[in-house]
Amino acid sequence: MPQLDISTYASQLFWLVVCFGVLYVLLSRLALPRIATALEERRDRIADELDQAAQLKSQSEEVLAAYEALLAESRERAHALSQETRHKLQQEAEAQRQKIDAELREKVADAEARIKDSRAQAREQLQGVSSELAGLILQRLVGTSVPQQQIDESVAKALKHRS
């Protein structure tokens, strides 16, 4: 078994110490720090970018919230405006209706007064015509003339009685 040949041990150990020592110095001084830096740079970069992404996200969330607040506010305002408008229109319509009502009532009252007038006038005329007629009839039938005053009175009495 060549492994048990003690004469080779010194050489093996010597070259092992040399090679491993050199490799250790090279790696610990040169190679490993470079890998560590590369890894750290990448980790930093990723962390930075994650931070940035989080920041952007919160920013966009803020904007979204502002937008939604604005939207809600304008919706509310629109609602209030429409309510107000409806109210105003209703009031206006009511006022107009009342005005028209009053006018109509006035007109009706007017018309009624006119009717009353006309009726009174008609009655007066009727009275005049009746007493004239009565006077004429009396003259023709009886041949006497009754004083106009008396005829007037009795016609008025009769008419009042009738009506």
The set of long-range contacts for 76-81, using a CB threshold of 8 Å and a minimum separation of 24, is: none
Stretch that binds another protein, among 14-22, 78-86, 102-110, 115-123 (CB under 8 A): 14-22
Q: Using the rule CB under 8 A, is 26 a contact of another protein?
A: yes
| Binding flags for another protein, 44-83, as an x/- string (CB under 8 A) | -x--------------------------------------
Helices 32-141, 148-162: inter-axial angle, 10-degree rounding: 130
| Of positions 15, 47, 61, 111, contacts another protein by CB under 8 A | 15
Determine contact, residues 155/131, Cβ cutoff 8 Å: yes
- Nearest approach in angstroms of CB 54 to another protein is 20
Q: Using the rule CB under 8 A, is 42 a contact of another protein?
A: yes
DSSP 103-161: HHHHHHHHHHHHHHHHHHHHHHHHHHHHHHHHHHHHHHHT--PPPHHHHHHHHHHHHHH
Stretch that binds another protein, among 2-10, 50-58, 102-110, 155-163 (CB under 8 A): 2-10
Binding site for another protein (CB under 8 A): 1-5, 7-20, 22-24, 26-28, 30-32, 34-39, 41-42, 45
